[in-house]
Amino acid sequence: MSQTPKLAVDMVDPDPIRFLDAEGRYSPSSSAADYAAELDGVGIEEFQQWYRDMVETRAFDTEATHLQRQGQLALWVPSIGQEGCQVGLAHATEPQDHIFPAYREHTVAKVRGVSFVELLKLFRGFTHGGWDVTDPANGNFHLYTLVLAAQAQHANGYALGQLLDAKLRAGSSALDAGEQGIATGEATMAFYGDGTSSQGDANEALIFAASYQTPSVFVVQNNGWAISVPFERQSRTPLYRRALGFGMRAVQIDGNDPLAAFAVGRRFMRLAREGGGPGYIEALTYRIGAHTTSDDPTRYREKAELEAWRDRDPVERMEAYLRELGVDEAFFAEVAEQADREAKRVRDAILQLPPPDADSMFAHVYTEAHPRIEEQRTWLERYESSFEADEEITA
């Protein structure tokens, strides 16, 4: 449904791109026809894997929330309800692509190879940064970014590098705004939410992406709420229209439909790799849970709204579609059992990890020794040793 108020300019928004309706039946919207070919070659085994990814992530997500409530994590950021667009977009990328997440892209992390334990280490305070992005096992999935919109700049900077590398391979070292894009063979995808779309950094990234025609795709998961601020207060137009204003291809999709996310993501990433410049996807979705475990959404959301979105649950929608394709009960039972087993394994693993050495907080701040870091390290050593002196006096 269009969210556009009456304006002087007569614009009519097409229906969001969708292949599965709310009940999981294959029922493409009129806007989906142009993307249907992107699903060619995707079969039932792939759809089963997508479902497995979503169910395992949800079980892990639930277990992580329990861990935080039990005091084992400093914070947790639930993603329940947003698995649909994440799984479709993650599977639409190629191994050579790079992904810059915000902090809620747990399904994308799983698909790209980052272990759930690595995610929890960050929220348990066992690592300041996260996983090793240079490790091929982590699938070019960059670090979670809690500084809103910073990842949009990071992603576009990386995409500029992809563009410049391609130009150097073609014998040119020029990088001028206004030039046509060129084929790079790889692209970058950046994730952020509707609240972050109001940040200056997010908009500046779009300017540079459009000016230099970088191989980048920006994904805005519009879950309706910027913590407690409803979307309607953030923007008077659909967000995808903002990107149109920057001169980028942009569409709005049903973010709880994995097929729509895959089809559009596949098209946009391929065009970016081929030199067609950046793209922008607004995925309409909903976070079923809290913004973070420090939030109480019952203070600002109506129960009826929550229940309406529960009826469009992406996991249930995908399950219904698989059942329609003939997948039997044994598959769903096995996936549920495996998801539960994996969530418990991850819980045990994170609780058994030894705490990190305090000195590790100084690693990776700078590539070379730095006097400020050495000063802080010395202060910490003096501070810690002061407790030893107190214990000797007490004894």
- Return the exposure string of 289-326: e unless at least 16 CB atoms fall within 10 Å of the residue's CB, then b: bbbbbebebeeebeeeebeebeebbbbebbbbbbeeee
Exposed/middle/buried for residue 120 (C-beta within 10 Å: 0-12, 13-18, 19+):
buried
Cβ-proximal residues to 361 (8 Å cutoff; 6+ apart), any chain: 128
Reported as half-sphere exposure (CB side, CA atoms, 13 A), residue 150 has a value of 8
Q: What pLDDT, on a 0 to 100 scale, did the predictor assign at position 175?
A: 86
Q: How far apart are CA 346 and CA 333, in angstroms?
A: 20
Domain extent listing, the chain: 33-356, 358-394
Q: Which residues pair with 248 in a beta bridge?
A: none
pLDDT tens track for 138-195: 999 999 998 999 999 999 999 999 999 999 999 998 888 888 999 999 999 999 999 9
* Strand, coil or helix: 189: strand
- Contact call for residues 148 and 200 (beta carbons, < 8 A): no
Q: What pLDDT, on a 0 to 100 scale, did the predictor assign at position 12?
A: 85
- Contact call for residues 48 and 327 (beta carbons, < 8 A): yes
pTM (whole model) above 0.75: yes
Reported as half-sphere exposure (CB side, CA atoms, 13 A), residue 193 has a value of 24
pLDDT tens track for 94-147: 999 999 999 999 999 999 999 999 999 999 999 988 899 999 999 999 999 989
Assigned architecture for domain 33-356: 3-Layer(aba) Sandwich (3.40)
- Contact call for residues 161 and 190 (beta carbons, < 8 A): no
Q: What pLDDT, on a 0 to 100 scale, did the predictor assign at position 379?
A: 95
Residue ranges of alpha helices (H) inside the chain are: 44-69, 83-92, 106-112, 116-123, 150-169, 200-212, 231-234, 239-245, 258-273, 303-310, 314-324, 329-352, 371-394
Give every residue of the chain whose pLDDT is below 70, as ranges: 1-10, 389-395
Strand order in the sheet with 249-254: 98-100, 188-193, 216-222, 279-284, 249-254
